[in-house]
Structure formats: C-alpha cells, structure tokens
Chains A and B, each alone.
Chain A
C-alpha cells in the first residue's frame, strides 16, 4: 500500500472525540471515527451486506463498528465481518494524522465476488440456493 498516496480528509477538530463524520473524498464516502486519545479510524461508508451507510453506527471499544441497519459487526482494523447478516469485509482506509489534519489512503474498495454462487473448492464452479 506504500504507493497509494495519503489524501487530506479533514481537520481533527471536524471529528470530535467519540464522534464520527462522513466525508466525500474523490467520490468515495470516507467515514472517519475519532476513537479517543488522538486515534482515528476510517472505513468506506458502506456495509458489505446491503451497501447501506455505516454512518450513525455504534463504535464499540474503538475496535468495532455496528451497522445501524441490520446490526452486522465489523473489525475497524481489518474490516472483517464479525457477525451476520454480513459475511464479506468492509473497506478500511489506513489513516494518519499530521499537523492537525487527518489523511487516508484511498485503497481499492473490497469487491464482492463476481459470481456469489462460485464455490472455491469446486474450482469456482457455481452452486445454487
């Protein structure tokens, strides 16, 4: 990820402690969370389940976000889905804070499989319902 530039998202004062705010950065919805003591985390503002916004979801222990729509939990460091109805990860943006500003690397969005029916053990052959 070293070759992906950090881009300016906001000033630290734009995201108050224990708060979150969504910013439009180059057409991407970047949800920035202030998890306390100067730590910020950022994820794509889209649940992997139905693509609904994660904005407004509860952040737990600075480590998990709960989708406000159907309650899926995600790890804020890895994006991994921790509970249904989500199975796929969300996109996590690496962040850094410099001179009072928050920057993120706009990594590529996590993509669902082109064919959700594909079964890996069968060489990607699709299954069914």
Chain B
C-alpha cells in the first residue's frame, strides 16, 4: 500500500473521485446516479486517502467528524420534508423552483436537497467506518 507511486497519485485520484461523486449525485434525477451512488464514490475516495496517507490525516482533511456528516445528512433530509408543511401540503411533498440564470434554467427542488442529505449520510457513515478500521491501534478514532 505504501508505494511511492500510490502515495503520489492518491491525492489526484481522491480529488477526481470527489468531484465525480458530486457530479453523479447532482445529475441523479435524470441520468444514472444519485445520492446513494455519489456517497459511495465519495466514501471510497476518503478510504483511498486514508490508505495513502493515514486515517488521522484523512480525518483532518475532512475537518468535521465523518459521522457528523451523516447526522447532518439525516437532519437535512428530514427538514426538507418539513418545508412542504408551510405550503399546506403533507410531509415530503416536493417543491420545485426554476431559477433563470441568463439563458439556462436551473431546476432546484426539495428532492434534490433530500438527495444531498442521502449523499451526506452514505458518505459520512461509510467513510467513518473505513477510517475507523484504517486507523492504527493507538489512534483515537
């Protein structure tokens, strides 16, 4: 695992994977993809980073505890469902908003935010487990 080649190219791979994971997450509503897959790709990126450097380093790079990503994801997903209540609709009725930016239209919706919540949960949980397993015996997880 600790070859110089792997350690050198790992950051590049990780960065590419992270960007790709977000891309996959965002396009999910119309093309293959979505929060679940995106989250898995993102978590793999973090696992690779943890292997190439160290779990501690990967944790520092994440800034927040991986599990807090998961907690925030559940919160976000739950709260998006609540928005529709102010609209006099039952819980989790989707709301769409089309933003006109110059020539293109950006469709924003509560399912999209919900999907980002799913992404964060999958990303946070899996990377937390991977990093927890990768960290050395003496390290604090």
A in complex with B: no
Residues of A at the B interface (CB closer than 8 Å) are none
